[in-house]
Amino acid sequence: MKILRLITSFRGKDSQSFQLGNFIIEKLKSQDATAEILIRNLAKDETPHLSDVHINSFITPVKDLSDELQKAVQYCNNAIDELVKSDVVVMDVPMYNFGIPSSLKAWIDQITRAGITFRYTENGPVGLVKNKKVYLAIASGGIYSEGPMKEYDHTEKYLEQVLGFIGISDITTFRVEGVAIPDIKERAMPKAVQAVEEAFAS
């Protein structure tokens, strides 16, 4: 099993999404001790935000790439290669302003590429990334899995939609939520860990 781990919180070991992601990784390793893990820390190693040079590099035939375009397309090609070669992806997702970190959005913008990870057909768009299992480890100060704030959550649904668009539909979400709410925050991680335990036991 090849696992791609995306770390996206800038809080290092204190990060709740990182800790939850670690727990998911431990469970995966207990299923397959030989699992290979490739870690990409998007919070630390800057992901290029899309610019016209990237778009030009995506649409220019390989043989016509200038040095500048060749350089621009490298991150994208590498990120797609890492995704395609993985069997499982674990994404740490700290909620920022109801959405995903901009670094993760930048990564998604790099890997969502017409003709490579999806293509348009006469019957509409078709995802080209197959046979992946994705685990989302979402951390949030408030509670979004239920209750009045549920509709403010633009992490899980967005990731399901955009990953679904490129062909990845096997997605399981775990949440460590309410980490900013007194009385709830103490139970947030144990509850999340229990949910992972139960999912892997079944």
Ligand X SMILES: Cc1cc2nc3c(=O)[nH]c(=O)nc-3n(C[C@H](O)[C@H](O)[C@H](O)COP(=O)(O)O)c2cc1C
Q: Both tokens of residue 131?
A: 């046979």
Indicate the burial class of 29 (C-beta count within 10 angstroms; 0-12, 13-18, 19 or more): middle
In the list 110, 140, 155, 173, the residue contacting ligand X (rule: CB under 6 A) is 140
Indicate the burial class of 135 (C-beta count within 10 angstroms; 0-12, 13-18, 19 or more): buried
103 binds ligand X (CB under 6 A): no
CB of 55 within 8 A of CB of 72? no
Nearer Cβ to ligand X (15/110): 15
Closest approach of ligand X to the CB of residue 138, in Å: 9
In the list 6, 7, 16, 103, the residue contacting ligand X (rule: CB under 6 A) is 16
Task: List all residues 6 or more positions away from 118 whose beta carbon is below 8 Å from its beta carbon.
Answer: 112, 125, 126, 127, 128, 129, 165, 166, 167
155 binds ligand X (CB under 6 A): no
Closest approach of ligand X to the CB of residue 53, in Å: 29
In the list 97, 121, 161, 202, the residue contacting ligand X (rule: CB under 6 A) is 97
The one segment of 66-74, 118-126, 136-144, 158-166 that binds ligand X by CB under 6 A: 136-144
Nearer Cβ to ligand X (58/135): 135
Q: What is the bridge-based pairing of β-strands 124-127 and 88-94?
A: unpaired
Indicate the burial class of 63 (C-beta count within 10 angstroms; 0-12, 13-18, 19 or more): exposed
Q: Both tokens of residue 157?
A: 């649904």
In the list 28, 139, 163, 196, the residue contacting ligand X (rule: CB under 6 A) is 139
94 binds ligand X (CB under 6 A): yes
Closest approach of ligand X to the CB of residue 92, in Å: 6
Closest approach of ligand X to the CB of residue 174, in Å: 12
CA torsion, ordered 121, 124, 130, 136, to nearest 10 deg: 150
Nearer Cβ to ligand X (23/75): 23
Give the integer Cα–Cα distance in Å for 126 and 138: 27
Closest approach of ligand X to the CB of residue 70, in Å: 35
The one segment of 12-20, 47-55, 61-69, 157-165 that binds ligand X by CB under 6 A: 12-20
Which residues contact ligand X by CB under 6 A? 9, 11, 15-18, 94-98, 139-142, 179-180
